[in-house]
Structure 1
Amino acid sequence: MRVLTMVGTDHHPFHRLVRWVDEWSRRFPADDCMIQYGTSMPPRHARGLAYVEPDELNAWMDKAQVLVCHGGPTTIVEARRLGRRPIVVPRRSRWGEHVDDHQYLFTDRLAQTGQVLTATTQHEFELLLDAALADPVMVRRGDTDDDRKTAATVQRFGSLVAGLFS
């Protein structure tokens, strides 16, 4: 699998990301693309599953050349743990993709330190995905002194957000 896209398990649909990846897959059908689409509309051109068991998803993440995901802290931490720098499209509240813009703020901070690549438009997304497939090194995690601190911060952030909804 060359491209694995994950929207996570939040009950808010993330049609925008699924649509962007599916459109890209339509134009490049020879590239093997899988979308975990959750409550979003299923893809028409790429392969897709609504949900995947964690062990299977981790195996796919380990094998995929490029990881694309929503801005969920757990998904990003798992990608980073596997040595990846994911292409992240954060969910936005104004489009009903989440309750607030914490993913946007969180991924903006990670992008500033080079830990993720972010796209806010379909054009930016397509440019990043094409570049990542042409040069896989750009989506490999660079080992930095901040990695351990970032993982702890992401875990702490995830716990705080989870506590808001319990």
Structure 2
Amino acid sequence: MVGTDVHAFDRLVEWLERWHAGRDALAPPVRLVVQHGRSRAPRLPDAAPFLAHDELQRAMTEADLVVCHGGPATITEARRHGHLPIVLPRDPARGEHVDDHQQLFARRLGAAGMVRLVETEADLVAALDKGVADPLSYALTADPGRPDPRAAAATAVGRIVEDLVRSSRAPGRRRWWR
């Protein structure tokens, strides 16, 4: 899941494609559902630019693993569905976002054990291989009726950051950071 940001996140899509193509032919098949947003469409059968809310919920319910960008809402949804998400934050130096808030946010959650942070292709491959071999290693106790309070706090912080970024780009607004 790359979210709905206007920036492409081709790096994650390409890394997933390479991992999937490089799997041992004798290994059990792995089905990837890739929501690629404005990124290049991957050469995978179950790829879509965007998923409707009910499709996203179904995909997360049926998934063994969730790999996503560092967006607070996506992370919260994955955790609510019982997944310790594998998170690759977008990098503004690569044109994947406007600033480094996803990196800061994901690193903080990674340090707290709330996500499996990956920042290199090798990290992603290792996380996926581990998850395919033992899906329970990335499973949380899911209780859709009771949100994780830490995830709710993470979402609140994410909204604050997003509001700050959005307001800083408003016409006529002077940037408060210099």
Tell me if TM exceeds 0.5: yes
* In 2, Cα distance between equivalents of 1:45 and 1:81: 27
Indicate if the aligned counterparts of 1:66 and 1:139 stay in contact, CA closer than 8 A: yes
**Residue of structure 2 equivalent to 1:3:** none
Q: RMSD over aligned Cα, in angstroms? A: 1.6
Equivalent pairs, count: 157
Judging changes above 3 Å, is the alpha-carbon distance between structure 1 residues 61 and 157 closer, same or farther for their aligned structure 2 residues? same
- 5+ unaligned residues in a row in structure 2: which ranges? 143-147, 168-178
In the other structure, the counterpart of 2:12 is 17
1:47 shift after superposition? 2.6
How far did 1:142 drift?
A: 6.0
Please say which of residues 114-123 and 28-37 is displaced more in the overlay.
Answer: 28-37
Greater strand share, structure number: 1
SS of equivalent to 1:8: coil
3-state DSSP class of the match of 2:66? strand
Question: Which TM-score applies when normalising by structure 1?
Answer: 0.89
| Cα separation, 1, equivalents of 2:63 and 2:153 | 26
Provide the C-alpha distance between the structure 2 equivalents of 1:108 and 1:34, rounded to a whole number of angstroms. 25
Aligned to 2:154: 154
Between the aligned partners of 1:87 and 1:67, the Cα distance in structure 2 is: 6
Q: Which is worse superposed, 32-41 or 154-163?
A: 154-163
Alpha-carbon shift at residue 109 of structure 1 (Å): 0.9
- Gaps of at least 5 residues in structure 1 are 1-5
Identity %, equivalent residues: 43
More deviation, 20-29/121-130: 20-29
Q: How far 1:152 sits from its partner (Å)?
A: 2.8
Runs (4+) of structure 1 moved beyond 3 Å?
Answer: none
What is the DSSP-based 3-state SS (H/G/I as helix, E as strand, rest coil) of the residue aligned with 2:34? strand
